Structures are given as C-alpha cells and as structure tokens.
Structure 1
Amino acid sequence: MYRFHVPTIDISPWVGRGSEDARAAVTAAVDHACRTVGFMQIVGHGIPDAVLRDLEQGLDAFFGLPLEDKKRYVRPAAENRGYTPPKSESLSYSLGIDPVTRMNDFFEAFNVGTSWREYPGTAATAADYAENTWPEAVPAFQDAVEAYFDEARRVAQTLTHVFAAALRVPEDFFHGLTDHSIDVLRMNNYALPPGSIELGAELTGMGEHTDFGLVTVLWADRVAGLQVLGLDGSWNDVMPAEGALLVNIGDVAARLTNDKWLSTLHRVKPPVIDGTIERRRSAAFFHDGNADAVVGVLPHFASPEAPPLYEPVTVAQHIAAKLAGSRAGRKNVSAVREAARVTASRG
C-alpha cells in the first residue's frame, strides 16, 4: 500500500570528512528519496544558527515595511530580482494550468541572485544574471541575506556531489553544469492585512508548480501550508523538522534522469486560524545550473524500452518559458507531463 513519506537525511558525512561507508549510505538515501518522492529533510547541513536568526530578522524588517515602500523595489519580471507584490503571480501558469483566479497567488516575495559580474570569463550576461536591488530602508537586510545566500549555495553544491555519486557520473560532472549557475534566493511572506482577502474563498498562497532548476534548498517556518503531490495523486502536508532544511529536486534533475528522479509538484495552501491567515515565511535557494548549459537525458537513463521523454534544452530557455507563465500570465505549453499530473490531482 502506498504511503507518502519525506525522509530525514543527515548529510554531515558529505559536509565534513565522513567515511566512505557513511557517504555511501547518504548517497543511497538521497537517491531513494529522489526516485520516490523528490523531497527530503536534511540535517547536518552546517548552517550556523546565527545566520538563520539574522535572516529571519531581515525578512521581518523588510516585509514589515508599508506596501508602497516595498513596491519601490519592483523589477521587470524577466529579471527575477527585487520585490513581488501580492497577487501579481500565478505559479500554475508555469505549467500551462489555469488557476482558480488569474494571477491570484497572494504571497509577496523578494528575490536576489548571482550577477553576471560574479562570473568573469564565462558566457554569463546581464540578460540571465541580473544585478541585485537592495532596500536601503533596511540597512541590515543585505548583510543578513548575503550571509545566508552563501551558506545555502554551499549546501546546494554539496548536494550536487552526492547527486553525482548517486547518478554514477564523474565526480566533477555537475561542475560543468553549474560553474556559472543561475542561483536565486526567493524570500516569501504569506500574510496579508485583515480585510484584504475574502477568507471564504479558495485561497492560494502559491499555486501548483515544479521548481525549474537542479535543486532547491528551502528554509521555512514550522507553520503548516506546504503541500506536496504524492504518487497516488493526493496532496500531502509537509512541515520542516526541527533544525532541518527541506530539499527538493527540480526539472533539470528530472530531465537528466528521464523522470527516474521526480521533480515533484507542490503548492502552498496557508492555514486560516480564527479568521486570519497564520503568517508563514520561507527562503528558497534555487541552484538552477548554467544559463547556456544544454540539458538532455543522460545516456544510461534512456533505452529502446525507455526512450527520452524530453528534448535537449538550455537552462535559460527552460526558465524563460516557466517565468513567462508564472509572471506574465502566458501559459507554458511545454509542461505537458506536469500539467497532466495537476489535472489528475484536481479530479
């Protein structure tokens, strides 16, 4: 009988100098999680508590500003930087799925990422690696966010070494895909002032979607809201364990493995308690891969019995199609497989 389960995995043998047997055990556990659920809780990641506390305080300070002040930091959608006001996105469009109400996801967000200036001597350009905007109204915000960004990137890079071992590719395989990776940290706030929404309506904090890139490292409050689609078509509540980060793989990993690893659909359905939405914060670090990297099915994951499910595509092309859906309201018609799974889950 199928039972949905997100395993907890201690990755400390890969963070430090663990034994070969200890690393092999982590590799097997990660491989199993990627094949069966696409999500895992990771502990032993080594991010200092002080870095996490500073991030929380920075999020509170920025998202606590008046809405009109925050809107000063809105950037063009294609740049994937700066502030996103509530109800200006609909993530389900990234899969070509109509949401209940157009552009109805009521989270607000702030994005930062790697700039083209960080990758001299590569093909990185401002078109795919935009400069960051920092809110001068919150002086401590930049230092706190940059410190967490560096730690989350370290964790993501550690995981790519585990992935290489699990997928039986050369140890440096992912370096060629991520040495000038499009890395983005999206900080989300799920809360709105009283009276700004109809609490009896079908509320969507963040619509159904898969993540675009290779791997996502998520810090989140221990508050209900995140739901993950199981293999049986059911939506399942997932909350971070104490001290854990949630990790899920994205579309790039699914393409490499011909869907043997699952880029799992997920959404946020915020809880309503005593007539108000309980506040939930999160910070998702997306390790997406090089913009110019061509992603296709690895040869040993395809056969005459299991032909490639995806045509090769660059990371930049794939992300552009997804962003055009979620932020410009243009359906992404290429996400046929994911869209079918959402439709099935809706009955």
Structure 2
Amino acid sequence: MTSPFTVPTIDITPFLTDTDDAGRAAVAAEIDTACREVGFMQIVGHAIPDEVVAGLTDALDEFFALPLDIKKRYRRSTSENRGYSPPRSESLSLSLGLPTANQMNDFYEAFIVGTQFTDFPGLDLPASSYAANNWPEAAPGFRPAIDTYFAHAQRLSRILLRAFTAALRLPADYFDTLTDHSIDALKMNNYALPEGELRLDGDMTGMGAHTDFGILTILWADRVPGLQVLDKHGHWHNVQPTEGALLINLGDAMARWTNDRWMSTLHRVDPPIIDGRIRRRRSAAFFFDGNHDAVIQALPGTLAPGEQGYPPITVADNINAKVAGLKGITTPAPTARETARVLAAASPD
C-alpha cells in the first residue's frame, strides 16, 4: 500500500535570518525530503507582502481584460520568448516531445517578462536568452506592479537556492558563478475560453503535461482547482496552495545537476469545466533558470562509482530546445523517462 500523496508545507523563515543554524538545518532536511519524494513543496514565511501579491493579481486582471486584438499587439517573435501568447499558440506537452495532434491545444493565454541583456552591463549576453521586455502601454498599471513582484520573487529565489545548497551539502557559494546573470522570467497565465468560443473543443487542455526547464519555479496561483501533479507511481493528484503559501517545484536543470536524486516533476493544468465553460484561473510562475552559459552536469557526490550522468548541456541550450518544442517550431528528442510516465498516468485521485 502506497502512502498518501501530499505536497509538504515548509516554513523557510530560518533562511531569512543569519542567526538560526539549527532552524536552517531542519528546513534543509525538509527540503531534501520534498525534492527526493515529490519535487513540489509549498512554502510559508516567504516574506512577500500581501499587498505585493494583490498588485500582481490586479495587474493580471488589467491586462487580460483587454480586447484580444489589443493584447495581440504585444506578441513577440517566438525566438525572444517575451510578451503575449494568445490561446492555442502553445502546447507544453510538445516540450517533452510527447505524441500529440499536430496543433496547439493549450487554451491558456500568457504574458512573459524577464531579465534583459541591459540588466547586466559589461556582459555580452545573447538577446535570445535576455530579450527586451514588451510592456503593454494599454495597461498602465501593469508594469509597476509586475516590476515590484518580480523583484520580490528574484530575492526569494536566491534565498531558496541557499536552502537548496544547504540541503545538498554543498559549499554555500557553489552556485554563485552559475547564477550571477541568471535568466529569470515571470510567466503570467489566464485560463479562460478564447473570445468567441462558448464551449470547449474536446481536444483542448488548460496546460499540457510538462516539466519546468530551470533550477526552480515559484508559483502563485488562485485557489481554484486545476493544477495536477504526477507522483512516482504514475498517478495524477490535484494540488492547491493553502492560503498565503507559494508552490515551489524543481526544473530539469536541478534534476540533471542532482542526477535525478531530486525530481523535476511532471505537472499539468486543467481548470474545472461547468456546463461547457471554464472556471477562470490565474497563475504566475517565476522561473529561476541560471546563467545562459552555465553547464548542467552532475554535482559532486551524486554519481555512484562508474555511473554515467546526463551529458553536459548549457542552461540556454536546454531551455531553447524545449521552448522551440512548446511553440511548435521543432520537435525535441523525446525524453524516455518523462514520456513513459505521462503515457502511463492514471486519472487524478
């Protein structure tokens, strides 16, 4: 008999101070267990003020309420991965090379902002990874609120990395040179039917099954059903954050760095459908991905004698291949482990 599936709640307060060694050690142990067994956790004590989160949600509402033709003015080329993505312009399952119909099925719409090459003067950074943002002038309150939330999420991601480093028993500065010009991005999602559609096409999904690409993801989400996480036994489980908590999950870079000691867990989103209509759901995923030129290879102590780890790959190459897949530009080489788990998955519990 398998144990019940739970996403653990972890209070990271000790890592916001420098005076509680015992508390940090206890939190690091909790994180290690969560990363080994679930790949997801929810955190409290994160110190992002309620008013900052409220500003984020107001900004999402302001932008996504705009007419579709106005929102499409802020669409950017697929190579830049910034700006607006209309409904059915992506299929996240394709980022894994999963078999799918030859069409974009994910009905969410999104807006992405991130670090830009101008944020790191003196470095010759590729615009493909650090593209300029495309702020929507039609939503004047959007940029100030998003800039504020983005800064808080950046700070929190570095605090979490310190906790992760402690959990992996690495020197405190181990990741410093791998993240000092990190590709950070905030993807804001709105799950609602596209304009002019009153009912769902049966082949459409909210957001297809996928893993994230980088080091870690900080997810704020409405407390509306929809997020589903795949456990180690191939079963999907519904997950909602508790009030005031943020969901954290690992990306492929951290799974590869740890030689799968830690899990980059498959997840998907399917908001509830009532009488053919979707109950609206919003989310904002902050991706902490690492430097574009950081090489992902097995960390010290993660390979057994004679064991082969993943082949080395840069952060940018890993991200670019998967983004090209989700946008239907190319088909990534299937990853057998993730593909098999998705295809074998049972219905949500």
Cα distance in 1 for partners of 2:62, 2:166 equals 41
Which residue is 2:340 aligned to?
Answer: 340
Letter in 2 for 1:182: I
Contact kept? 1:203, 1:269, Cα under 8 Å: no
Contact kept? 1:77, 1:328, Cα under 8 Å: no
Cα distance in 1 for partners of 2:341, 2:32 equals 22
Contact kept? 1:54, 1:144, Cα under 8 Å: yes
Cα distance in 2 for partners of 1:172, 1:159 equals 13
Which residue is 2:185 aligned to?
Answer: 184
1:123-162 equivalences under 5 Å are: 123-162=124-163
Which residue is 2:252 aligned to?
Answer: 251
Cα distance in 1 for partners of 2:332, 2:78 equals 15
Cα distance in 2 for partners of 1:230, 1:100 equals 25
Cα distance in 2 for partners of 1:309, 1:229 equals 24
Contact kept? 2:198, 2:277, Cα under 8 Å: no
Matched, 1:277 2:273: no
Cα distance in 2 for partners of 1:190, 1:60 equals 12
1:72-91 equivalences under 5 Å are: 72-91=73-92
Which residue is 1:33 aligned to?
Answer: 34
Deviation at 1:340, TM superposition (A): 2.0
Matched, 1:218 2:208: no
Deviation at 1:18, TM superposition (A): 4.7
Letter in 2 for 1:154: R
Contact kept? 2:235, 2:346, Cα under 8 Å: no
Letter in 2 for 1:134: W
Deviation at 1:125, TM superposition (A): 2.5
Aligned sequence identity (%)? 57
Letter in 1 for 2:126: T
Which residue is 1:322 aligned to?
Answer: 322
Aligned structure 1 segments of 4 or more residues deviating by more than 4 angstroms:
none
Letter in 1 for 2:320: A
Cα distance in 1 for partners of 2:266, 2:11 equals 24
Deviation at 1:126, TM superposition (A): 1.5
Cα distance in 1 for partners of 2:330, 2:294 equals 24
DSSP 3-state at the match of 1:53: helix
Please, what TM-score do these two structures have when normalized by structure 1? 0.96
Root mean square deviation, CA, Å = 1.6
DSSP 3-state at the match of 1:78: coil
1:7-22 equivalences under 5 Å are: 7-22=8-23
Deviation at 1:169, TM superposition (A): 1.2
Matched, 1:268 2:269: yes
Which residue is 1:295 aligned to?
Answer: 296
DSSP 3-state at the match of 1:339: helix
Letter in 2 for 1:116: F
- Distance 1:109-1:200 versus aligned 2 partners, 3 A rule: closer
Contact kept? 2:87, 2:194, Cα under 8 Å: no
